[in-house]
Amino acid sequence: MSLLMRPARRNHRHRLARTAAHAGVLVPWANTVVEAELPSFAGEAVAWHYARLVPASQDTALTENFLAGLVEAVPQTVHQLSKLPLEQIYLACTSAAFTRPDRVRDIVIEAEATMPVPIVTAFDAIVVALRRIGASRTVLATPYPDEVTVCEATQFDAEGIGVIALGCLGLADGYADIPDGQVAALVTGLGKKALREADAVVLSCTGWPTSAVARRLRRQIGKPVITSNLAIAQHALCSRDRR
């Protein structure tokens, strides 16, 4: 019986492959979380194709050189995906997008000129996710250093989304090792008043594992919890539904 069923399962997978949305993902070269979380959010509805962003400095800590290097690596990295039937490409580094929005915009225009596929940043995907649920006030939690977190809050404000409380772990590296309990404590430490008044919680950064703790916080707080990777997956799924 099992032998007879195997071709049917393979055919089922082939049908899904034909109907799935194909999305490219530009992943910071030391990020170990993106590939684990995106498929868990989108299932078989999206086929993800990854390429690694390698900064010229070849470091991993969240410094000016690292972020600038990731952005400058976008055109060459996009080229790795140029022969694939993609519907969009995601820049899966939230902080690179909001710390240097003007340069990212120029790089995206340059890349899209050679490969006519929309490039969406993780930060833009978060903004789209918040607007989709009508969230105009949020609390923001990040693993980043203080100044990077403040920069993100400023960019949310420029998008018409107020950050009524923010907290960060002040880390420049090692995001994949942050335990769920530390993330939960960071969010709850923002205060009951802020969490009550916020329309949503944002857990920014594609590099810290937040899928499980986001579900727990959503049940505990009773508010939507938007993570960087969840926002990317939702954006890809909505684009698939619109085609």
Please give the pLDDT value at position 62: 94
Check whether residue 76 and residue 128 sit in a common domain. no
In tens, the pLDDT along 71-96 reads 999 999 999 999 999 999 999 999 99
Residues 10 and 119 in one domain: yes
Paired tokens of 23:
């999305």
Q: pLDDT by residue (tens digit) across 60-71?
A: 999 999 999 999
The answer on 178 and 139 residing in a single domain is yes
Report the alpha-carbon distance of residue 110 to residue 88 in Å, rounded. 15
| Residue 115 and residue 12 share a domain | yes
Are 147 and 236 contained in the same domain? no
Give which of 128, 113, 122, 67 is closest to 89, Cα–Cα.
122
Residue 214 has pLDDT above 80, yes or no: yes
| CATH code (residue 143) | 3.40.50.1860
Same domain, 90 and 21: yes
Q: Does 173 lie in the same domain as 91?
A: no
220 in the same domain as 117: no
Percent of the chain having pLDDT more than 90? 84
Same domain? 131 vs 55: no
Q: Domain limits at 58?
A: 2-123+231-242
Whether residues 142 and 119 share a domain: the answer is no
pLDDT at 5 over 60: no
For every residue of 181-212, DSSP letters joined together read: HHHHHHHHTT-HHHHHH-SEEEE--SSS--HH
What is the count of structural domains for the chain? 2
d(CA 63, CA 25): 22
**End-to-end C-alpha distance for the chain, whole angstroms:** 38
* Distances 164 to 20, 128, 137, 190 between C-alpha atoms, Å: 38, 19, 7, 10
The whole-chain average pLDDT of the chain stands at 91
What is the reported pTM? 0.91
Count CA atoms closer than 13 A to 49's CA, side-chain side.
19
Q: Are 207 and 28 in contact (CB under 8 A)?
A: yes
Residues 137, 115, single domain; the answer is no
For residue range 95-148, what is the model confidence (pLDDT) as tens digits? Answer: 999 999 999 999 988 888 888 889 999 999 999 999 999 999 999 999 999 999
pLDDT at 211 over 50: yes
Contact 170, 146 (CB under 8 A): yes
> What's the token pair of residue 117?
């596929």
110 and 222 share one domain: no
